[in-house]
Amino acid sequence: MARELEGRIAAVTGAASGIGLASTEAMLAAGARVVLVDRDEAALAAVCERHGDAVVPLVLDLLDPKACATLLPRILARTGRLDIFHANAGSYVGGDLLDADHSAIDRMLNLNVNVVMKNVHDVLPHMIERRTGDIIVTSSLAAHFPTPWEPVYASSKWAINCFVQTVRRQVFKHGIRVGSVSPGPVVSALLADWPAEKLREARESGSLIEAAEVGQVILFMLTRPRAITIRDVVMLPTNFDL
């Protein structure tokens, strides 16, 4: 593989597993050094053991407002700059709205929407000063279809798609690209919260995506010529509509 990201510094939230880990590994293979942001210290340690000095662990609970505000300063203290930011951390609430409790709704909306907005808000001044940068946000196929079995989750991703498209229009003049990747169901820990019947149907029909495939799409987005922005990529298994 061509090392198209050689010398670049990236940071990925929710980097210890799933799409975040796949994104990290795709960027590492392309030559980037990656700051892994996650609250799971043990999982981060395991990733670091595999990848050595190419990765920088950053244990951080993004749902803690004070800790969240330290994200960029702590990244810059370890790396000196930031070229790529992948806002990936998120959670899932599925099922009927009537069955969701208030605390679960609050937690998910805070992580999927508020934290993403705050993180992007905080990294933008650094990128604007340098007049370059890439921001990728993990969205979902649920952002493009009113999915009846996940109204809370889907609503959070609809909000994020609006955020990506509006922020991109504010900052492209500074040399910053902003885009989102919207995968269908990905084999990850988030599927643990799926209704059992829905998960069984997806497995039997072959309508799940591997996280590594999402990582490769993110790498494609990041390695286009600077004059090209891939604003939205919607990924779905070929058998999704079966």
Q: Would you say residue 129 lies in a domain?
A: yes
pLDDT of residue 13: 98
Print pLDDT tens along the chain (242 aa): 578 999 999 999 999 999 999 999 999 999 999 999 999 999 999 999 999 999 999 999 999 999 999 999 999 999 999 999 999 999 999 889 999 999 999 999 999 999 999 999 999 999 999 999 999 999 999 999 888 889 999 999 999 999 999 999 999 999 999 999 999 888 766 666 666 777 777 777 777 888 999 999 999 999 999 999 999 999 988 887 75
Whichever domain contains 195, its CATH number is 3.40.50.720
Yes or no: say if 56 and 34 are a contact pair by the CB < 8 Å rule. Answer: yes
Q: For the sheet with 55-59, list strands across it.
A: 55-59, 33-38, 9-13, 84-87, 133-138, 176-183, 232-235
Max intra-chain CA distance, the chain: 50
Q: Would you say residue 41 lies in a domain?
A: yes
What 3-state class would DSSP assign to 60? coil
- Amino acid type, 56: V
pLDDT of residue 190: 61
Q: Would you say residue 199 lies in a domain?
A: yes
92 is catalytic: no
Q: Would you say residue 65 lies in a domain?
A: yes
Kindly name the residue from 153, 158, 163, 194 that is annotated as catalytic: 153
Residue range(s) defining the domain that contains residue 92: 9-232
Cα–Cα distance for residue pair 196/13, rounded to 1 Å? 28
Partners of 234 in beta bridges: 182
Question: CB within 8 A of 173, min separation 6: which ones?
Answer: none
Cα–Cα distance for residue pair 179/236, rounded to 1 Å? 17
Describe the crossing of helices 151-171 and 102-109 by its angle, rounded to 10 degrees: 20
Question: CB within 8 A of 101, min separation 6: which ones?
Answer: none
DSSP H or E segment with residue 176: strand 176-183
pLDDT of residue 14: 97
Question: CB within 8 A of 127, min separation 6: which ones?
Answer: 82, 85, 133, 135, 171, 174, 176
Q: Would you say residue 135 lies in a domain?
A: yes
Q: Would you say residue 3 lies in a domain?
A: no
Q: Would you say residue 221 lies in a domain?
A: yes
pLDDT of residue 120: 98
CA atoms within 13 A on the CB side of 113: 19
